[in-house]
Amino acid sequence: MASRRVRAAGKWAVAWWATASTVGACLCLAEPIPDAPPTSDASCPTQIESVADALPTSVDPGSPKDRPLRHGVFRWTSYPAAWTAAQKTNRPILVYVSSAHCPYCVRMLSETYQSPRVKDTVVSSFETVYVDRQSQPELVAALGVRLFPTTVLVAPNNKVVDLMEGYVAADAFGRRLQTNLAAVSATRKR
């Protein structure tokens, strides 16, 4: 009788561990970002709308056509460089925020961003930035990113147009990009 209880407890423990590890893998989407340590740097932006004021005006991103594309899509790894390029091209900025060991981030890069329709739209219509949470925590906090992956669309006037949290399939993502491009275009005409 005692051996049955041990085996039952062992089965339960294995079942619990399998469930917990599956849930843990999915939690990267809801993994909160720890609060950024307070800084005395007045140039550190608190919201994306104020980033333009804090950007150095001497950033020379070089010719966008000369830069290699990361993952075949992302031209920049620095928001200031992308913002400077957006001022020259009058194109919106697409910021993709990723986190290490996030399976949905990898999936979005390999499926959504590699879809021919999405890739063509992104490369031809946006200044693109790839942001890694671990290497740019200040920017991630300034963007208000809470889930991974997150895609933030910013108009050339530095106003957030859309924030897409979590994995988005290629078809839905492509439609949303087109809708946002139309909205940015309508704003420019005013």
Q: Say how far apart CA 103 and CA 58 lie, in whole Å.
A: 37
Residue 21 has pLDDT above 60, yes or no: no
Q: Say how far apart CA 179 and CA 181 lie, in whole Å.
A: 6
Residue 30 has pLDDT above 70, yes or no: no
Alpha helix segments (H runs only) across the chain: 2-26, 51-54, 79-89, 103-107, 116-125, 137-143, 170-189
What integer is the mean pLDDT of 44-66?
Answer: 39
Model pTM above 0.85: no
Token look-up 């994306």 returns: 48
Residue 186's pLDDT band (cuts 50, 70, 90): confident
pLDDT computed for residue 41 by the predictor: 36
Residue 61 has pLDDT above 80, yes or no: no
Residue 35 has pLDDT above 50, yes or no: no
pLDDT computed for residue 179 by the predictor: 96
User: 170-181 pLDDT, tens per residue?
Assistant: 999 999 999 999
Residue 92 has pLDDT above 80, yes or no: yes
Cα radius of gyration (the chain): 20
Q: What percent of the chain has pLDDT over 90?
A: 48
Residue 190's pLDDT band (cuts 50, 70, 90): low
Q: Say how far apart CA 22 and CA 145 lie, in whole Å.
A: 23
Which token pair is 74? 């992302």
Parallel, antiparallel or unpaired: strands 160-165 and 150-154: antiparallel
DSSP assignment string, 139-160: HHHHHT--SSSEEEEE-TTS-E
